[in-house]
């Protein structure tokens, strides 16, 4: 059912913060790392073990020519480059053309059929042509999709499902903090959203995958974002500045999905700069018969995005060819080796 | 992936408290109830809807001749009669011989291969001969097996998994309360266990299914039981008596499984007479990298045993022939219809 990791031939495609964590996990699981792709001049040409801070070399050079690395072949490429399918399409296509399966932390690929339908269809076709699979995973795979669908296996009647998670902005570097307007005024943010819009993101893809997994059909989808602030100052490590009281420390992104069959789904993601001691949380309530509830107090989303992705490698290798959105994937499982 | 319930042809085999709940759930899901089997003279000959307290008749008579009911054919028999495979073997065999799939709340069938190996093998062979499936489900399917294995999909390294649940003795009638020696002295219970032994039960089967699902192999299994009491009196509804301070109000059943590969598993089931306002709980901790944690505060085990079983009907119909222990079953899922 689960397959094993050890001995699988893997290319690390993207050697940023997440790629570095994943490299260590792959190494510790006995995976054979056969290539590594990066862009930064400070990393290209160096050994991957060195770049990933393993304290040892792996005999794998970080190269900046993806086609050359991919042409040597591999079971799967672990792709950690960017968060939207528009930016990732060509990276994925390149892997698939070389007959290499792809597993990625790129969030839109979790369920890309409605937000990026053309990219999704072309990548699906390309994957099928080449007999390989493209799939995304990450913390949402376990915490926001599969734990929830498994819990619902105990439901007789589902009226409404309400999820809420918190994540630490400081876990993801200055780009994410700036994207969320950390340190800005709330009314300025509201004006920005009113004029420029705000991307629907992880919450939407997660709920669409959830609804599809349950064999329900979407009637409506709506999303909103609310800026949050604290009454006391807080230090933002990723920006290296203190955020004064009243200025933005994060956002609450909410998506609501209604279905033709009746059950309704709401998921709120609260991303903010944490105080010392705060941990990533996950909380879901099911209203229906019976009422059900599930909580995780230590979800460690940054790390579990990497560990879940690594556990997915044998699943992706074993999946049918095509773009396999998470609703169609088997349940994630622990791979001891 | 999940199949639907409505229109499936089901026999309700056993019309006690659990069978009555299940009858209502089946009716509400649009299942076609084609037969019903009972023994009690107060139930045989009456309409199942009446026996189950539905407030309406179903046009299905409770009959006491299982072969006659089974010979008329059905997609599946929902069997709720007794808790051990030794007592259930002949009931299951009868269904299988008639080419009827079985889904049961009988707890040993969750993973019967080591505690009842001969029964398990003969029923497996009989099911295969007749092209049908025998499987067990219940609250453990969602709460103690599949939520845990899904959570472990986020683990990089598992050292130890520790589970703890509480359940209400008063939910299961006087037989269970008497089996647990409710109201007796603790030292008397300890002497009883020392001389007569104590059956390994749900915790063992659950952990064995869990270890098998993870592709790990059992090195050792040990179980123990501890009587519990309260310092204040408590009323036991199922026995209709007040339990004096210091007398037994429940037991703590614990099973520990070690594996050849390293990870260790411990599950403690605390069954006791609840005070008003207490709810069934479920709590799991994973020690490793990372540490993980999962809690359910409203598990409603009696009801979710019934609702999970009903959700399993399409899975059991679709499963490969044989005795399908829970480690080999797909993940449970909500069936809207």
Residues forming CATH 3.40.50.720 domain(s) in chain A = 9-139+303-328
Beta-carbon separation of A1 and B215 below 8 A: yes
* Contact present, B270 and B136 (Cβ < 8 Å): no
How does pLDDT run across B256-265, given as a tens digit for each residue?
Answer: 999 999 999 9
How does pLDDT run across A30-52, given as a tens digit for each residue?
Answer: 999 999 999 999 999 999 999 99
Say whether A165 sits in a helix, a strand or coil.
strand
Q: Determine whether B191 is exposed, middle or buried from the number of CB atoms within 10 Å of its CB (0-12, 13-18, 19+).
A: exposed
Say whether A117 sits in a helix, a strand or coil.
helix
Residue B105: list chain A partners with CB under 8 A: none
Beta-carbon separation of B296 and A292 below 8 A: yes
| Nearest chain B residue (CA) to A21 | B156
Point out which residues pair with B236 in neighbouring strands. B241
Cα–Cα distance, A78 to A104 (Å, whole number): 6
How does pLDDT run across B84-131, given as a tens digit for each residue?
Answer: 788 899 999 999 999 999 999 999 999 999 999 999 999 999 999 999
- CATH 3.40.50.300 for domain A9-139+303-328: no
How does pLDDT run across A125-167, given as a tens digit for each residue?
Answer: 999 999 999 999 999 999 999 999 999 999 999 999 999 999 9
How does pLDDT run across B284-334, given as a tens digit for each residue?
Answer: 999 999 999 999 998 999 999 999 999 999 999 999 999 999 999 999 999
Is the pTM value of this prediction over 0.90? Answer: yes
Residue B4: list chain A partners with CB under 8 A: 215
* pLDDT, averaged across chain B: 96
Residue B147: list chain A partners with CB under 8 A: 147, 150-151, 294
How close A20 comes to chain B (CA, Å)? 15
Residue A328: DSSP 8-state: G
Whether A322 and chain B come into contact, CB under 8 Å, resolves to: no
Residue A109: DSSP 8-state: G
Instruction: Compare CB distances from B154 to A4, A213, A307 and report the shortest one's residue.
Output: A307
pLDDT band, residue A121 (cuts 50/70/90): very high
Cα–Cα distance, B224 to B232 (Å, whole number): 25
Whether B310 and chain A come into contact, CB under 8 Å, resolves to: yes
Largest CA distance in chain A: 59
| Nearest chain B residue (CA) to A137 | B154
pLDDT band, residue B275 (cuts 50/70/90): very high
Quick one: CATH architecture of B155-289?
2-Layer Sandwich (3.30)
pLDDT band, residue A201 (cuts 50/70/90): confident
Q: How high is the pLDDT of residue A84? A: 79
How close B258 comes to chain A (CA, Å)? 14
Whether B28 and chain A come into contact, CB under 8 Å, resolves to: yes
B263 contacts: CB under 8 Å, gap ≥ 6: A336, B158, B159, B160, B161, B214, B216, B288
Looking at 3.10.180.10, 3.40.50.720, 3.40.50.1820, 3.20.20.80, the CATH number of the domain B9-138+303-328 comes to 3.40.50.720
A65 contacts: CB under 8 Å, gap ≥ 6: none
Beta-carbon separation of B1 and A150 below 8 A: no
How does pLDDT run across B5-57, given as a tens digit for each residue?
Answer: 989 999 999 999 999 999 999 999 999 999 999 999 999 999 999 999 999 99
Whether A218 and chain B come into contact, CB under 8 Å, resolves to: no
Q: Which residue has the tokens 């003795």?
A: B169
Beta-carbon separation of A296 and B146 below 8 A: no
Residues forming CATH 3.30.360 domain(s) in chain A = 155-289
Q: What is the ipTM of this complex?
A: 0.97
Cα–Cα distance, B130 to A23 (Å, whole number): 50
Instruction: Compare CB distances from B291 to A150, A298, A306 and report the shortest one's residue.
Output: A298
């Amino acid at each position: 059912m689960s397959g094993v990791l050890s001995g699988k031939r893997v290319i690390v495609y993207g050697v940023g913060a997440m790629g570095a964590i994943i490299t260590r996990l792959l190494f510790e699981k006995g995976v054979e790392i056969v290539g590594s792709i990066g862009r930064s001049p400070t990393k290209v040409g160096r050994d991957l073990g060195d770049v990933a801070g393993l304290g040892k070399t792996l005999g794998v050079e970080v190269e900046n020519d993806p086609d050359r690395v991919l042409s040597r072949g591999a079971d799967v490429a672990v792709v950690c480059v960017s968060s939207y399918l528009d930016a990732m399409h060509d990276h994925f296509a390149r892997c698939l053309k070389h007959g290499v399966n792809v597993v990625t932390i790129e969030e839109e690929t979790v369920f890309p059929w409605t937000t990026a339908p053309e990219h999704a269809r072309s990548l699906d076709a390309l994957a099928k042509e080449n007999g390989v699979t493209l799939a995304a995973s990450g913390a949402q795979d376990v915490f926001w999709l599969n734990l929830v669908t498994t819990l619902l296996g105990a439901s007789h009647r589902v009226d409404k499902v309400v999820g809420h998670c918190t994540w630490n902005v400081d876990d993801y570097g200055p780009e994410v903090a700036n994207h969320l307007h950390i340190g800005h005024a709330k009314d300025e943010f509201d004006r920005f959203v009113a004029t420029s819009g705000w991307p629907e993101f992880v919450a939407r893809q997660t709920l669409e995958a959830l609804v599809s997994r349950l064999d329900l059909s979407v009637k409506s989808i709506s999303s909103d974002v609310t800026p949050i602030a604290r009454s006391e100052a807080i230090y933002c490590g990723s920006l290296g500045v203190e955020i004064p009281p009243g200025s933005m420390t994060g956002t609450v992104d909410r998506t609501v999905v209604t279905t033709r069959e009746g059950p309704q789904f709401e998921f709120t993601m609260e991303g903010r700069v944490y105080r010392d001691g705060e941990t990533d949380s996950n909380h879901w309530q099911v209203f229906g018969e019976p009422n059900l509830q599930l909580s995780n107090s230590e979800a460690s989303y940054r790390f579990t995005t990497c560990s879940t992705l690594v556990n997915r490698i044998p699943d992706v290798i074993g999946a049918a060819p095509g773009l396999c959105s998470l609703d169609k994937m088997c349940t994630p499982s622990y791979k001891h080796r």
